[in-house]
């Protein structure tokens, strides 16, 4: 029983992290229709930034989040203005190829900058506390609450502000949004900025809990895709729910199926994706735009 509860807790904590990790991917897809294959690599960039600040200034990763978020917002804004804007009207083929190229470039750029050696951020409080016989890892719990906070903030931004209204309008119908006077390029650039910042922030947040290396990104891209299909495009509760499903399944399999260990995550999310596609080919919920929309 204790083992089960322990696994459930680990799954929940992991799921919360997945929920915030997926937001950038999901909103970018929902608003602009861009499937960002470089998603995991932006997460890796965030983790490396946190490591860099920890090493040079001895800055705690959760404090350096305050610096990383605005920095990566600017990066995302510029990326949209320079690169992604050229892709919006093109078929998915071009988008996929460019983001794939971006992914490879980013991963190998980091390999050149920091070598392929795995790095870690050993924070002082990287232990766990006992609660009713279950050990709660402190860092992962902090990540979980930060994730919930970020999700609530994004939810408020999208639902309660004029900017959020503009973003949702741009997602629903671009031309109609233009007609009512929304500066679509600016809205897109801000959205991309938010998405990239969130992704890098998620990377920075988990930097104390796992090894950081240049090619760590790809599994996250794949998991993000599965979770988005599970939870709907740009739907924040859906992202959280999908993240929980994947997180708990992953931990349960690692706990109860012998001989597999924790490195089975990608295969598991792939199996989950295939099952969803067989059962409900149109995706579970639509969110900001219909999932099966074909732009080419």
Partner 1 sequence: MKLHKNSKKQTEKKSFLKKWGGLILWILLLGFLALYPYTKVSGIQLFSATQVFMLVTLASNWNLIGGMTGYIDFGHTVFFGVGAYMMGILVTQAPLAFAPRLSFWQALPIAGLVALLLAVSLGWVTLRLKGSYFSIAMLGTFAATREIVRILRPLTGGGAGLDLPPVLNRLGEYYFMLAVMAIVVSSIWWIRRSDFGLSLLAIREDEIGAEMRGINTTLHKLVALAIAAFFTGITGAFWAWQNTYIDPDVVFLESRTVEMVMTSMLGGLGTVWGPPLGAVVLYSIQNIVWSNLLNYHLLALGILLIFLVLFMPEGILGKLGDRSSISAIRLIQRWQKRR
List, in sequence order, the alpha helices (H) in the chain. Answer: 2-32, 39-57, 61-82, 92-114, 138-160, 162-172, 174-179, 184-206, 217-231, 236-256, 265-279
Taking the least distance from each CB to partner 1, the nearer of 167 and 291 is 291
Q: Residue 52, Cβ neighbours under 10 Å: how many?
A: 17
* Residues 193 and 74: beta-carbon distance below 8 Å: yes
Per CB under 8 A, which of residues 270..289 are in contact with partner 1?
270, 273-274, 277-278, 281
Per CB under 8 A, does 157 bind partner 1?
no
| Choice from 63, 86, 161, 211 touching partner 1 (CB under 8 A) | 86
38 or 204: whose CB is closer to partner 1? 38
Q: Which stretch, 102-110, 126-134, 185-193, 203-211, contacts partner 1 (CB under 8 A)?
A: 102-110
Cα-Cα-Cα-Cα dihedral sign, residues 25, 28, 33, 38: negative
Given the complex with partner 1, which of 249 and 269 has the nearer CB atom?
269
Interaction residues for partner 1, span 105-144 (CB under 8 A): 105-109, 111-112
Q: What is the DSSP letter of 135?
A: E
Q: Toward partner 1, which CB reaches closer, 37 or 44?
A: 37
> Which x/- pattern over 242-261 shows residues binding partner 1 (rule: CB under 8 A)?
-----------------xxx
Assess 183 for contact with partner 1 (CB under 8 A): no
In the bound state with partner 1, the residue whose beta carbon lies nearer, of 69 and 291, is 291
CB 251 within 8 A of CB 11: yes
Q: Which stretch binds partner 1 (CB under 8 A): 71-79, 137-145, 162-170, 216-224?
A: 216-224
> Does residue 83 touch partner 1 according to CB under 8 A?
yes
For partner 1 (CB under 8 A), the number of binding residues is 51
Residue 4 in contact with residue 178, Cβ under 8 Å? no
Dmax of the chain from CA atoms? 60
Interface residue with partner 1 among 56, 124, 258, 294 (CB under 8 A) is 294
Q: Is 269 in the site for partner 1 (CB under 8 A)?
A: yes
CA distance 165 to 217: 31
- Residues in CB range of 258: below 8 A, 6 or more apart: none
Q: What is the DSSP letter of 119?
A: B
Residue of 18, 73, 188, 225 interacting with partner 1 (CB under 8 A): 225
Q: Is 221 in the site for partner 1 (CB under 8 A)?
A: yes
Does 26 engage in binding with partner 1 (CB under 8 A)?
no
Contact present, 291 and 26 (Cβ < 8 Å)? no
In this complex, which beta carbon is closest to partner 1, that of residue 111 or of residue 168?
Answer: 111
The angle formed by the CA atoms of residues 87, 93 and 94, to the nearest 5 degrees, is 30
Q: Residue 82 CB: number of other CB atoms within 10 A?
A: 10
Of 61-69, 89-97, 139-147, 160-168, the segment contacting partner 1 by CB under 8 A is 89-97
Report which secondary-structure segment, H or E, holds 128.
Answer: strand 128-131
The residue ranges that bind partner 1 (CB under 8 A) are 35, 37, 83, 86, 89-94, 96-98, 100-109, 111-112, 218-219, 221-222, 225-226, 229, 259-261, 263-264, 266-267, 269-270, 273-274, 277-278, 281, 291-294, 296
């Amino acid at each position: 029983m204790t083992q089960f509860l322990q696994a459930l807790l680990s799954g929940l904590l992991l799921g919360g992290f997945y929920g915030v990790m997926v937001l950038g991917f999901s909103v970018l897809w929902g608003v602009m229709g861009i499937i960002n294959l470089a998603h995991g690599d932006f997460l890796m960039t965030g983790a490396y930034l946190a490591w860099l600040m920890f090493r040079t200034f001895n800055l705690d990763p959760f404090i350096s989040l305050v610096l990383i978020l605005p920095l990566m917002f600017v990066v995302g804004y510029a990326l949209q203005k320079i690169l992604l804007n050229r892709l919006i009207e093109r078929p998915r083929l071009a988008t996929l190829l460019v983001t794939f190229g971006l992914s490879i470039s980013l991963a190998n750029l980091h390999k050149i900058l920091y070598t392929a050696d795995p790095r870690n951020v050993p924070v002082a409080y990287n232990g766990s506390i006992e609660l009713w016989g279950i050990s709660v890892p402190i860092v992962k719990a902090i990540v979980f609450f930060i994730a919930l906070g970020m999700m609530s903030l994004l939810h408020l931004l999208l639902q309660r502000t004029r900017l959020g209204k503009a973003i949702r309008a741009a997602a629903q119908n671009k031309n109609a949004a233009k007609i009512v006077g929304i500066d679509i390029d600016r809205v897109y650039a801000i959205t991309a900025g938010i998405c990239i910042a969130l992704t890098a922030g998620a990377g920075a947040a988990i930097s104390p809990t796992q090894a950081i290396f240049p090619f760590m990104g790809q599994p996250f891209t794949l998991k993000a895709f599965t979770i988005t299909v599970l939870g709907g495009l740009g739907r924040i509760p859906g992202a959280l729910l999908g993240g929980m499903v994947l997180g708990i399944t992953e931990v349960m399999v690692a706990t109860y199926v012998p001989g597999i260990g924790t490195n089975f995550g990608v295969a598991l999310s792939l199996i989950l994706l295939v099952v969803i596609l067989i059962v409900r080919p149109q995706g579970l919920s639509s969110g900001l735009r219909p999932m099966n929309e074909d732009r080419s």
